[in-house]
Amino acid sequence: MSNSHISRACLAAVLFTAGLCTAIPLSHVRSANAPSTRRIPEGPLGETIQLGRTLVEKTATHDLTKAFVGNDLNCTSCHLDNGEHPTAGTFLKTATAYPAWSPRENRVITLEDRVLNCFMRSCNGIRPPLGSKPSVAITAYITWLSTGESIAMNARSPHGPLAVPALKIDPSTADRARGRQLYVDKCADCHSADGAGHDGNPPVWGPRSYNSGAGLAKDHNLANWLKVAMPLDDATLEDKDALDIAAYVNSHPRPTFVLHEHLPEESRRGEYNSESVPAGSGNDVKVAPGGAPGESPLRD
């Protein structure tokens, strides 16, 4: 999936109540139900929202975020069309679920927390400081995509109402050998036979892909995503195909997630949002390839 292809969607914008602010018209975009015209405010808030969208599209290369990214993935590599795709890791309505309970962190987290944790896992990088410019910008953009929606905080998991649905298939039935052939037939042209990606298409395993702490490092989560996202613009995989490809992809080496290696220095950390593993306790988390329970499909 090429970055240029993935990022082809134009900015959507927010419809504001008349009289509250002046607004700049932006283009039509896809939504989970039907296309809608939105507007974005002038001034610092509008600029921050637009910056957030740019960072979602160019996470690995933008000056504000590249220092926090340890691989070749951008947010839009998983959240297609910069999160505006209606099913593949959509950001639409996501902000309505936060603050939310997160079983992995064993505490209630904010949307900003969730964004920062993605840098550690899917981007295999360093968690940006809480309240930093990129953190606020990306969170503002995702929040903006929920404008006009009703708040429905999630007391069970940090997922929005349009989160990728789980396939009704037993993960233990995965056939890696079959997945290998399907990968050759359906995936290798874009992601290379060696999984390293090429021509702007992201790597799916190896040192420049997501680490073992990411949600997609679990076969069932990756299968769920493949079902609604791949092949790009023609998501036609059968459930069994998606599961077998996922098992094959995740059978390859990728960076091992070790929590302390992905946290910033303490003075720039704010508060790491986890009751499960107190930061600095020495009780570190090390997740081998294959992952650990409690991870979500996409918003890792």
**Number of helices (H), then strands (E), in the chain:** 8, 6
221 inside domain: no
Write down the mean pLDDT value for the chain: 85
pTM of the model: 0.81
Strands 23-25 and 286-287, sheet pairing: unpaired
Residue 133: inside a domain, yes or no?
yes
Please give the pLDDT value at position 16.
26
Q: Is residue 258 part of a domain?
A: no
Arithmetic mean of pLDDT, 60-80: 98
pLDDT, one tens digit per residue, over 83-142 is: 999 999 999 999 999 999 999 999 999 999 999 999 999 999 999 999 999 999 999 999
Q: For 206-243, give the DSSP string.
A: STTS--TTSGGGSHHHHHHHHHHH-STT-----HHHHH
**Would the pLDDT of 3 be above 80?**
no
Structural domain includes residue 159: no
Residue 155: per-residue pLDDT: 98
Enclosing domain of residue 103: 3-144
Query: How large a percentage of the chain has pLDDT more than 90?
Result: 74
The pLDDT, as a whole number, for residue 268 is 84
For residues 228-256, average pLDDT: 97
The confidence score (pLDDT) of residue 275 equals 75
Q: What's the pLDDT band for 263 if we cut at 50, 70, 90?
A: very high
Residue 284 has pLDDT above 80, yes or no: no
Instruction: Answer whether residue 63 is part of any domain.
Output: yes
Tell whether the model's pLDDT for residue 272 goes beyond 70: no
pLDDT at 38: 67
Number of domains composing the chain: 1
Domain membership of residue 199 (yes or no) is no
Within a domain: residue 47?
yes
Taking CA atoms, 300 is separated from 63, 168, 174, in Å, by 23, 21, 23
**Nearest by Cα to 221 from 154, 292, 156, 279:** 292
> What pLDDT does residue 278 have?
54
How far apart CA 296 and CA 80 sit, in angstroms, is 17
Query: What pLDDT, on a 0 to 100 scale, did the predictor assign at position 222?
Result: 98
Query: What is the average per-residue pLDDT within 146-161?
Result: 96
Predicted pLDDT of residue 127: 96
- pLDDT tens for 157-205 read 999 999 999 999 999 999 999 999 999 999 999 999 999 999 989 999 9
CATH of the domain at 131: 1.10.760.10
Average pLDDT, integer, range 66-70: 98
Given this model, what pLDDT does residue 37 score? 54
